[in-house]
């Protein structure tokens, strides 16, 4: 078995690959179909894995309400992020979503009763300042899609904190609920989606691969967290900024400008500091 660090880094590469496929697909098809494919593929992976490790009662949960709430949050974050990718460069969009650890640190006070000190608020403010360097409200490059990603990061923080409360359920049960709830919600919404246009063959392949890579990414995170405390691994999530910049340049011809790079550094630095100073934070 590979080391947890390797597994976690590999999960980040898979997540960034999903982002690339989603950006291509949402520009040529429709958002609901992309979200549906994402969760359909995850469920195909999650159900047999959960059955293998937990047996036929893998679906039983000690907290059904929280499982459903958490899974709905995951659907919302996926939809918001994919929507934002339709208008924003990959690296900049990814950077804004990485304010989630900052939101986690802030919300851990009212939700989990943990102490949030003045220094935490200051570091969080520096991280949010990074969003302004990237989005630049009032400038010609500002797009309202940046607000979708800020909302996505906020909901993702609540998603992470909700995950921490599911201590009585197996990770594989939670993995299964994430897939099936996402699939049910997106299936209900499919009838209102615009019909798919005729697509190049490779884009049909992307519909299949986006769910597979998303499911593998989540599974790798589960396996990594089984072997190492989450707070030791979570700072590595910011390596995804490197993959996002690389993918953005190679596939879309996008490179962040100087101010965007400053914003990315502020967000990543603040997030890493808050993670290491709130070592119970997990994703």
- DSSP reduced 3-state for 181: helix
Report the predicted TM-score, pTM, of the whole model to 2 decimal places: 0.88
Can you give the pLDDT at residue 283?
35
Asked if residue 204 lies in contact with residue 79, where contact means CB atoms within 8 angstroms, the answer is: no
Confidence of residue 261 (pLDDT cuts 50, 70, 90): very high
CA distances 60 to 55, 67, 133, 237, Å, are 10, 11, 46, 30
The model's pLDDT over 193-242, given as tens digits with 9 standing for 90+, comes to 888 888 899 999 999 899 899 989 888 887 787 677 666 777 788 888 99
105, HSE (Cβ side, Cα atoms, 13 Å): 27
Can you give the pLDDT at residue 84?
93
Rounded distance, CA 77 to CA 97, Å? 10
Segment (H or E) for 240? helix 240-252
Rounded distance, CA 254 to CA 48, Å? 39
Segment (H or E) for 246? helix 240-252
Question: Which residues, 6+ apart, have CB-to-CB distance to 64 below 8 Å?
Answer: none
């Amino acid at each position: 078995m590979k080391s947890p660090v390797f597994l976690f880094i590999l999960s980040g590469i898979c997540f960034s690959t999903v982002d690339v496929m989603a950006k291509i697909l949402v520009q040529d098809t429709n958002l609901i179909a992309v979200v549906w494919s994402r969760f359909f593929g995850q469920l195909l992976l999650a159900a047999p894995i959960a059955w293998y490790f937990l047996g036929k009662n893998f679906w039983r949960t000690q907290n059904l309400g929280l499982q459903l709430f958490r899974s709905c949050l995951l659907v919302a974050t996926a939809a918001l992020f994919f929507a934002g990718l339709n208008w924003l460069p990959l690296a900049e969009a990814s950077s804004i979503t990485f304010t989630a650890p900052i939101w986690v640190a802030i919300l851990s006070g009212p939700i989990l009763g943990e102490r949030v000190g003045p220094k935490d608020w200051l570091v969080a403010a520096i991280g949010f300042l990074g969003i302004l360097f990237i989005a630049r409200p009032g400038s010609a490059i500002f797009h309202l899609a940046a607000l979708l990603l800020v909302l996505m990061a906020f909901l993702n923080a609540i998603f992470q904190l909700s995950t921490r409360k599911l201590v009585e359920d197996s990770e594989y049960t939670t993995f299964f609920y994430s897939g099936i709830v996402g699939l049910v919600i997106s299936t209900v919404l499919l009838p209102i989606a615009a019909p798919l246009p005729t697509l190049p063959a490779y884009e049909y392949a992307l519909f299949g691969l986006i769910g597979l890579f998303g499911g593998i990414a989540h599974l790798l995170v589960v396996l990594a967290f089984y072997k190492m405390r989450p707070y030791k691994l979570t700072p590595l999530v910011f390596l995804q900024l490197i993959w996002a910049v690389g993918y953005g340049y190679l596939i879309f011809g996008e490179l962040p400008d100087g101010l965007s790079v400053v914003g990315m550094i502020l967000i990543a630095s603040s997030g890493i500091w808050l993670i290491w100073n709130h070592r119970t934070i997990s994703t």
